Amino acid sequence: MTALADQLAALGLRATATHLDDLVALATKRRWSARQLLEHLAETEQQDRSRRSLERRLTASHIGRFTPMADFDWTWPKRIDRGAVEAALRLDFLADARNICLVAAQGLGKTMIAQNLAYAAVLAGHRVLFTTAAQLLLDLGSQESARSLARRLHHYASCTLLVIDEIGYLSYDARAADLLFQVVSQRYERRSLVLTTNLPFSEWTNIFPNAATATALIDRVVHHAEILTIEGDSFRRRVAEARRKSSPAS
């Protein structure tokens, strides 16, 4: 049985190789025909490969830990288009290479929504990458040759969905602005972006080195985009205040 398990593993039938003894016992107990045994083997292997593929995509996505949308408090924001958010979570925008832009101040759940969009896309079988603007630009800016930079730009341009979180928290020099523009341009009308920002687009000129750069970037981002604006007070501030009031010292 050990030799057979090794052969099955070498053929890529990992689930069968791992559970070979149990499979043989089950087939004997149920008196399966050869066809029934093969059907069970095929189904088991397909499920196992789907599971491993999902695990690989989740790991590669770098989504990290996040709160599911089931726990989102829709009553807290003063302004949010729940229907538009739920429509985005159905991922229809991916087929047309449209973008989703989440605009909100800190602590209103825009990153949470972006992570849920990324997770839904992974579950749907898509290749997804979640990153912050700072991480993306640090990665691209550290490339030491034109060839290595081209490879990293292709990395960010080729995934089905790219999520760039936290645009607007830092100002960008000319080099960083150019790199961000290249990423957006390479994906323009080809693959979808999800962006989160704490600034309305009218204020992007404050974080980019010149107005022309900001205008060109905004033009490509919003041309085929759903703009989801969230207004209200910070969730995190509410939680912190609730903890302070409930603590014994208070």
Break the chain into its structural domains and give their ranges. Answer: 2-61, 69-237
Q: Does 248 score more than 70 pLDDT?
A: no
Report d(CA 181, CA 185) in Å as an integer: 6
Query: In the CATH hierarchy, which top-level class contains the domain 69-237?
Result: alpha beta
Residue 245 confidence (pLDDT) above 90: no
Does residue 250 have a pLDDT over 60? no
Q: Taking residues 75-80, what's their average pLDDT?
A: 94
Q: How far apart are CA 41 and CA 35, in angstroms?
A: 10
SS3 97: coil
Query: Could you give the residue ranges of the DSSP H alpha helices within 31-145?
Result: 34-61, 82-89, 92-95, 110-123, 133-141
- Note the pLDDT of residue 148: 97
Residues in the chain, how many?
Answer: 250
**pTM of the entire structure?**
0.85
